């Protein structure tokens, strides 16, 4: 079943964010597993800020339309489709926390894992409530 409109968009954003949360869990687990590996550099997943920027750009469309008489002119505020935003894995090469060149702090990674798990459970609860509303309307 394909949903359209705001409901479909909300479900799609929830699904994409939950997928990113699963990817983030794998990255955090990789960081924890390599906490004692010499010269290992921790990594993170960057997604939410770009998604927020894309969603904000959709609402800013309209208003002033620039006159572009040359293809070399700069584009001002061009709306970005939120579906084009992909998660990016970012490595932290600039810091070193240990003498062996490793920069994984097990306490920070454990807290990140807990925060990510709580976020995933919250999104799952929101997803359940969205479908509960659909069932309520259908009854």
For 104-129, the pLDDT digits (tens) are: 999 999 999 999 999 999 999 999 99
Task: Please say if the pLDDT value at position 1 is more than 50.
Answer: no
What is the rounded average pLDDT for all residues in the chain?
88
pLDDT at 63: 61
Q: Is residue 66 part of a domain?
A: no
Does the global pTM surpass 0.95? no
Q: Is residue 30 part of a domain?
A: yes
Please write the tens of the pLDDT for every residue from 5-36.
788 888 999 999 999 999 999 999 999 999 99
Find the domain containing 112 and state its range: 5-60+77-138
Q: Is residue 111 part of a domain?
A: yes
Q: Is residue 49 part of a domain?
A: yes
Q: How many CB atoms lie within 10 A of CB 21?
A: 20
Work out how many domains the chain is built from and give that number: 1
Tokens matching residue 105: 């702090």
Please write the tens of the pLDDT for every residue from 63-103.
666 677 888 877 777 788 888 999 999 999 888 877 888 99
Instruction: Show the 3-state SS of the chain.
Output: CCCCHHHHHHHHHHHHHHHHHHHHHHHHHHHHHCCCCCCCCCEEEECHHHHHHHHHHHHCCCCCCCCCCCCCCCCCCCCCCHHHCCCEEEECCCCCCCCCCCCCCHHHHHHHHHHHHHHHHHHHHHHHHHHHHHHHHHC
């Amino acid at each position: 079943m394909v949903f359209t409109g705001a409901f479909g968009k909300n479900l799609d954003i929830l699904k994409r964010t939950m997928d990113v949360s699963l990817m983030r869990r794998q990255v955090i687990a990789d960081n924890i597993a390599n906490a004692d590996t010499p010269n290992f550099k921790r990594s993170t997943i960057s997604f939410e800020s770009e998604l927020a920027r894309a969603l904000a750009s959709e609402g800013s469309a309209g208003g002033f339309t620039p006159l572009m008489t040359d293809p070399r002119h700069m584009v001002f505020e061009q709306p970005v489709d939120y579906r084009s935003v992909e998660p990016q894995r970012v490595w932290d090469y600039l810091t070193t926390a240990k003498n062996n060149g490793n920069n994984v702090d097990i306490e920070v990674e454990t807290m990140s894992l807990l925060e990510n798990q709580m976020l995933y459970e919250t999104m799952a609860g929101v997803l359940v409530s969205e479908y509960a509303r659909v069932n309520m309307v259908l009854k």
